[in-house]
Structure 1
Amino acid sequence: MNAIINFMKRHYKILLTIVVLSITLFAFNSNYKNESDPDKDKLLLELLTFVIEKGHYSPAAIDDTFSKGVYKDYVQALDPSKRFFLQSDIDEFSKYETEIDNQILNKDLTFFTLTYERLMKRMGESKDIYKSILAKPFDFTIDESFNTDYEKAPYAKNSAELNEKWRKQIKLSALSSLTDRLKVQENKAKGIVEDVSSTDDIEEGNPVTIEVTPKIKKTEVKDNDEPKSVQELEKETRESSKKSLDEYFSFMGDLNRNDWFSVYINSITARFDPHTNYFAPDEKERFDVSMSGKLEGIGARLQKKNDFTEISELISGGPAWRGKQLEAGDVVMKVAQGTADPVDVVGMRLDDVVKKIKGPKGTEVRLTVKKVDGTITVISIIRDIVEIEETYVKSSIVNKNGLNYGVIYLPKFYIDFEDKNGRDAGKDIALEVERLKKVGVDGIVLDVRDDGGGSLSTVVDIAGLFINEGPIVQIKSAGRKKEVLFDRDKKIEWDGPLVIMVNSFSASASEILAAAIQDYKRGVIIGSKQTYGKGTVQNVIDLNQFVRNSAVGDLGALKTTTQKFYRINGGSTQLEGVSSDVVMPDRYSYLKMGERDVENAMPWDKIDAAEYTVWNKNENFNKAILNSKKRIDSSEQFKLIDENAKWIDSRSVENTYSLNLDKFRLAQKDIEEKAKKYKPISQYKNNLQFTSLPYELDETKKDNILKEKRDRWHESLSKDIYVEEALNVLDDLQTKPVSKQNTSQKKDKLVKS
């Protein structure tokens, strides 16, 4: 979940002043050059706890209760499936359950060192376990079962029990894969072409929860394939399982002591609240990229395949994409900086390969790659600024009942903190609204579903586009008076009908926007019963500024909760989120996945309301909400969605699966039969045609990747009942009917723009 980042100088300077007063704690001579130097870890532990205690909104006491929480979170993070540690390990670890607080304060790494070394030992042993298990066929005629509720499962008492747990885990995964292969083959014999791979495991009841075998796609079975015996298919599933586990352990093997120490550190920071966490140097860089949506490099996404680094995707518009030499599927063998000697990267950590390929704009990198056809070639690429298009806002237009509407999707409240002239969500939304106005839209839907937040300043800018002027959000720091952030621009970019779409994953900045629009009654909030419920503000603090000697190396950064934000009506969005004006059933309605369900979340509270004037130009506001509720209540599709959500909730508590082929297939058939009832949900079409704005149509003519992405988005919109209802609400918000002549004129304007 992305946090709201608020770099308000006044608060940052207060924190900085506090730390400077005690800078002697950290300003000793440091000569730690080893990335895994325990002394560096001690320094980091001391620095983090000090900064959190001085800067956190409401720091927790570091005591035995705190220690127990860290212990539980950390051990669970190391071995969530309980497939590495033995009960004897846990018994040994538990001696430190109430000692971690003392070790933190004394910069004692005994507990971390013990658990890290034991985990490395157990993971090494596990490699032999899974290879031994997969070396011989599974007997799927035995009547046995496996429970996947790992949280309630006990740890293995000895090596024999652990081996048995691994056997059943892998057997379940293989059984699921075998069942799919058999179904594909049977359907083929019947002349049925069907993709039996589940598009959504939770809906279909897929029990596979470990990193073993992927579901089979219909493309894996060719028309000229001869039917295979169960024994042959069983062998294929074991080979596939081994390949997946080899890749998993290869990835885990890339993690070093620093990576695991970050897990320990974050188990500590999370006890202050769920959104306070430590960024190791690489993580901080990734966070900056996610917030700004841009980086300097070649514009390619990489993935690890055993010892090899493969190009998984080219980013549209980037240097690699423009060069047309590098392709998805190419394997990077060597990397050279300009004319320097190439470095072999086979077997290298993925992060280290990425570091070698990335670099400043204008510099050259030469990649020795193995092409899909097996040929080896050297590709020269000049690095440049790469914008990650998926980060940025996008919009579409649709004609409905003779009216033109705009749909704007905002995936994140992004901003580039380093470049004031860089792209940010506030400026981009304003631009999209202006473009929509030019094509004559009669209403706008702003979609912030699944938007986890981002920059606080962009929220104020975006909300200000839709109101005259006034307060947008209230901020409160510990022990200080509240501060109200205002939109002071009297200009209204859009004063027409407005709908904000949210869901249970709309969080943080999304909730500020929805709350402000709701409090002003400026637009209708439509979506899940309530949003995520994150009402806190985080600051990202560079830890390197507190150490005088740079020889210590990069210490990373700390994201810590320094403030809480409140609606202009005084209420907090913390835990409660924003309740939609119009509630639409969704498939996650009954699952626990909001801030209120996160352990150690900060409490809800309330402060005085700010002064604001409710929007008075929505004469059909209440009518639109009432009409929408009536449509939803009478909609068979929404009834089916709600019924499906209840079924998903009931399925979430079913954790025991038979490992007998016949019984497993019978159970899966029963699940599939019940799931068929909900197939119309995914097959729904709203019969609306969505298109790009004129400027983007010109861009897609030159960019096939962008065109493909937009086509996929428009297709998903045409199957989205939630967007359809949002557009229905825009219909109801209209204040006067549009004549046929006006409708024709609007269509002409849309085509000619």
Structure 2
Amino acid sequence: MKRKFAYLLGAILISVASCSFITNKKFDNPDKDKLLIDLISYVLEKGHYSPKDFDDKFSEQVYKDYLNALDPLKRYFLASDIKEFDAYKDAIDDQIKTSDISFFNLTYTRLMQRMKESEGIYKEVLNTPFDFDKKEEINVDYDSLPYAKNEKELKDRWRKQLKFSALSRYADQSDEREKLIKSEGASVDKGVAFSDDDKKIIASSPKDFEKKARESLLSQMNDTYDVLDDMERKDWFDIYLNTIVTEFDPHTYYFAPEEKERFDTSMSGSFEGIGAQLQKKNDKIKISQVISGGPVWRGKLLDVGDEIMKVAQEGKEPVSVAGMRLDDAVKMIKGPKGTKVILTVKRVDGNIEDVSITRDVVELEETYAKSSLVKKDGKTFGIINLPKFYVDFTDYDKRNAASDVAKEIEKLKKSGMQGLVLDLRDNGGGSLKTVVDLAGLFIKNGPVVQVKSTGAHKEVLEDKDDRIQWDGPLVILVNELSASASEIMAAAMQDYKRAVIIGSKQTYGKGTVQNVIDLNQFLQSNSYGDVGALKITTQKFYRISGGSTQLKGVNSDVVIPDKYSYIDVGERDQENPLPWDKIDAANYNVWSGYTDYSEAIANSNARLAKNKDISLIDENAKWIRTQQDEKMFPLNYKSYKAEIAKDEETIKKFKALRDYKNNLSFTSLPYEDSLIAKDTVLAMKRKRWHEDLSKDLYVEEALNVLEDLKVSNFSKQNVAVKD
């Protein structure tokens, strides 16, 4: 590939770069909060790809989202507070322009007052036994729930929320009690279980469980309020600032100085933890990304969309994270290498279980490309898994995703590969340059992606190298979590009709680039110390056919449902995403190598229409969606247990999906065999990967498509000896 690409952009989709704006504007406000408002609003107006007007419409949205961020469960503010706040609903835009923070000051003071009052409420509620025989429900649709009219109504809201939390604890203890009674053959007298031989008490009564559940919940609430008490005024002001900046788009974000340090650490790849990114939405903290190479990824412990309900350090009581700030939840979950954290998780499919994770350093080796051979019907195929588009920024030629994939292709060709599957599922993106270089492995030359920057004309990034690393049949696997660089790659190969794209109905839909701007660079003299940084959207990607990958992502040629098919995980499900649009197409020629491209796609869709496993996957995905849409829950123990039993019965129906086998055999390449013989850890990793592939319906169909694809000028012998 041409060396000039090394100087394009910052070469990554989320680039840590510093953008300077030519300005004579002076930022000399003596109040740090007002200075930050002034700085951030200026950078947003001048530097954002699609700046918004600070008007009444913007003000109303900030107002709504900010109050939701402060009180997502609507258990602090009263309706009378909101009536008072309403005077500022259309005034926040004017306050931003004049660096006025009176609205923040009012809400902050009132929140501190209401939180102090709520401390007395929860302690009073948890001092009174809950009646789990009473028929009542709780509505968790907090967006549509009105604010409490008075203290009595507010106290009842607290009671129901705390009862709901206590009920799960009570049910867990009751389940253990029933198992113990059954295993010991015990007798029960007045709720207390006795062993039949020596009449020794082996299980407490439900009354004791109820008390224990309240005591445990009280301890957890006290811990939560200790964390809240530690928060300073500046922490709450950061929430206000981020409510303002995220109105521009979901990827624009203000980093306070300490947060910027954490961001820099995560970008370097040198950090200890569980290897997962979290996101808070509607007061629920969920897994938004599993980091390749981390403990969670290695142990297949969590999936994107799983909700974290409680966090416990080893040997300690679990703490609920409901209503907790995301940063505080992250602090509880992170920790030194070798220590354990136990997460109570509600799976995407509704199952609730405790997951023990040993914290560790993310293994970067596991983010690199890896390949496997597979034989089907006497033919040899290759599969390359690429978790991310990585690059060494200090020396591009040292190691990057494109050059590594090229090497794997050469090794697969030497083993007689007749068709290739490139697996980009769960690939969240990475280096832009490597996408262009990777696409160049499969086409002679031509454009790969179009880029538009803030206030600039479009730029067409091209592969100018005539060499083709692989001109045989190609299938690319994607899913809803394939984002950014993955979408560029899939879109380019689809537009060229070079590969058949198999997977989700559409990919994630992130077609934007962010730069991190150091706000300190705008201050000539700074008596406040570090003022932080702003991650801001500055570019947008477009397919060579003209359409943006933003929001719509890439539509697969062959659609296969999965558990994410109907739930909110994509860019379109985020708050304030930038819109989809279209520009002129670039000049390119469609790949002419296939003789039956459309026919292969039609054959695949016909096969899948008759596949009973596909129907079951789709049914499971729809059921998962209904679980997420559920807003009313019983607070009666028998009704609660009946709901759980009903869900467990439904889950049994989908057990066949976990037991699926494709009867294909996957093997490592010869060069890896010698490495595996010396490295037991590598042997374990490859064994696990091959086992996963043997249960993968999507890979099986990819191989079917490779068999159907015919390339007019393709010769296995000729390709195998290409340089």
TM-score using structure 2 length: 0.77
Which is worse superposed, 104-113 or 279-288? 279-288
What one-letter code is carried by the residue in structure 2 that aligns with 1:20?
A: I
Paired residues, what number? 634
The residue that corresponds to 1:208 in the other structure is: none
Offset at 1:514?
Answer: 0.9
Q: CA distance change for structure 1 residues 534 and 124 in 2, over 3 Å: closer, same or farther?
A: same
Q: CA distance change for structure 1 residues 350 and 167 in 2, over 3 Å: closer, same or farther?
A: closer
The residue that corresponds to 1:570 in the other structure is: 546
Q: d(CA) in 2 for partners of 1:350 and 1:153? A: 25
The residue that corresponds to 2:23 in the other structure is: 21
What one-letter code is carried by the residue in structure 2 that aligns with 1:661?
A: Y
Offset at 1:537?
Answer: 2.8
Q: CA distance change for structure 1 residues 137 and 330 in 2, over 3 Å: closer, same or farther?
A: closer
Question: For 1:424-573, what aligned pairs fall within 5 Å after superposition?
Answer: 424-549=400-525, 551-573=527-549
Runs of 5+ in structure 2 lacking a partner? Answer: 1-7, 185-199, 277-291, 296-311, 316-326, 341-360
Q: d(CA) in 1 for partners of 2:459 and 2:10? A: 14
What one-letter code is carried by the residue in structure 1 that aligns with 2:26?
A: L
Structure 2 residue corresponding to 1:269, chosen from 242, 245, 249: 245
Q: d(CA) in 1 for partners of 2:220 and 2:93? A: 39
What one-letter code is carried by the residue in structure 1 that aligns with 2:562?
A: D
Offset at 1:246?
Answer: 4.7
The residue that corresponds to 1:152 in the other structure is: 144
Contact 1:6–1:455 under 8 Å retained in 2: no
Question: For 1:34-113, what aligned pairs fall within 5 Å after superposition?
Answer: 39-113=31-105
Superposed CA deviations along residues 433-474 of structure 1, whole A, max 9, x for unmatched, are 444445443333222223333332222122222222110001
Q: CA distance change for structure 1 residues 188 and 16 in 2, over 3 Å: closer, same or farther?
A: closer
Q: d(CA) in 2 for partners of 1:658 and 1:389? A: 47
What one-letter code is carried by the residue in structure 1 that aligns with 2:453?
A: S
The residue that corresponds to 1:163 in the other structure is: 155
Residue 175, structure 1, aligned to residue 167, structure 2: yes
Offset at 1:72?
Answer: 1.3
Superposed CA deviations along residues 401-426 of structure 1, whole A, max 9, x for unmatched, are 34443333333334455665675433
Question: For 1:575-594, what aligned pairs fall within 5 Å after superposition?
Answer: 575-594=551-570
Offset at 1:643?
Answer: 1.8
Superposed CA deviations along residues 584-634 of structure 1, whole A, max 9, x for unmatched, are 122333335433344433232222111112222223422321222122111
Offset at 1:578?
Answer: 1.1
Q: d(CA) in 2 for partners of 1:501 and 1:225? A: 58
Residue 670, structure 1, aligned to residue 659, structure 2: no
Contact 1:291–1:454 under 8 Å retained in 2: no
SS in structure 2 at match of 1:278: strand
Q: CA distance change for structure 1 residues 724 and 237 in 2, over 3 Å: closer, same or farther?
A: farther
What one-letter code is carried by the residue in structure 2 that aligns with 1:171?
A: K
Q: CA distance change for structure 1 residues 300 and 651 in 2, over 3 Å: closer, same or farther?
A: closer
Q: d(CA) in 2 for partners of 1:410 and 1:246? A: 45
Offset at 1:49?
Answer: 1.2
Question: For 1:87-236, what aligned pairs fall within 5 Å after superposition?
Answer: 87-183=79-175, 185-186=177-178, 226-236=202-212
Contact 1:394–1:408 under 8 Å retained in 2: yes
The residue that corresponds to 2:191 in the other structure is: none
Contact 2:473–2:711 under 8 Å retained in 1: no
Q: CA distance change for structure 1 residues 518 and 186 in 2, over 3 Å: closer, same or farther?
A: same
SS in structure 2 at match of 1:476: strand
Contact 1:316–1:706 under 8 Å retained in 2: no
Which is worse superposed, 467-476 or 117-126? 117-126
SS in structure 1 at match of 2:462: strand
The residue that corresponds to 2:260 in the other structure is: 284
Which is worse superposed, 79-88 or 635-644? 79-88
Q: d(CA) in 2 for partners of 1:185 and 1:637? A: 38
Offset at 1:491?
Answer: 2.1
Q: CA distance change for structure 1 residues 112 and 578 in 2, over 3 Å: closer, same or farther?
A: same
Runs of 5+ in structure 1 lacking a partner? Answer: 31-37, 193-223, 304-314, 319-327, 332-347, 359-366, 371-384, 747-753
Contact 1:291–1:415 under 8 Å retained in 2: no
Superposed CA deviations along residues 169-202 of structure 1, whole A, max 9, x for unmatched, are 222233234334444554566679xxxxxxxxxx
Offset at 1:260?
Answer: 2.8
SS in structure 2 at match of 1:652: helix
Offset at 1:53?
Answer: 0.8
SS in structure 1 at match of 2:420: strand
Structure 1 residue corresponding to 2:611, chosen from 613, 631, 635: 635
The residue that corresponds to 2:585 in the other structure is: 609
Q: d(CA) in 2 for partners of 1:352 and 1:169? A: 24
Contact 2:563–2:617 under 8 Å retained in 1: yes
SS in structure 2 at match of 1:552: coil
Q: CA distance change for structure 1 residues 288 and 713 in 2, over 3 Å: closer, same or farther?
A: farther
Residue 649, structure 1, aligned to residue 625, structure 2: yes
Contact 2:593–2:711 under 8 Å retained in 1: no
Q: d(CA) in 2 for partners of 1:176 and 1:169? A: 12
Q: CA distance change for structure 1 residues 120 and 227 in 2, over 3 Å: closer, same or farther?
A: same
Q: d(CA) in 1 for partners of 2:568 and 2:601? A: 27
Q: d(CA) in 2 for partners of 1:435 and 1:668? A: 51
SS in structure 1 at match of 2:153: helix
Q: CA distance change for structure 1 residues 265 and 458 in 2, over 3 Å: closer, same or farther?
A: farther
Q: d(CA) in 2 for partners of 1:81 and 1:705? A: 46
Superposed CA deviations along residues 53-88 of structure 1, whole A, max 9, x for unmatched, are 112222111111111111111111222222332223
Question: For 1:292-311, what aligned pairs fall within 5 Å after superposition?
Answer: 292=268, 294-295=269-270
Q: d(CA) in 2 for partners of 1:715 and 1:228? A: 44
Contact 2:448–2:461 under 8 Å retained in 1: yes
TM-score using structure 1 length: 0.74
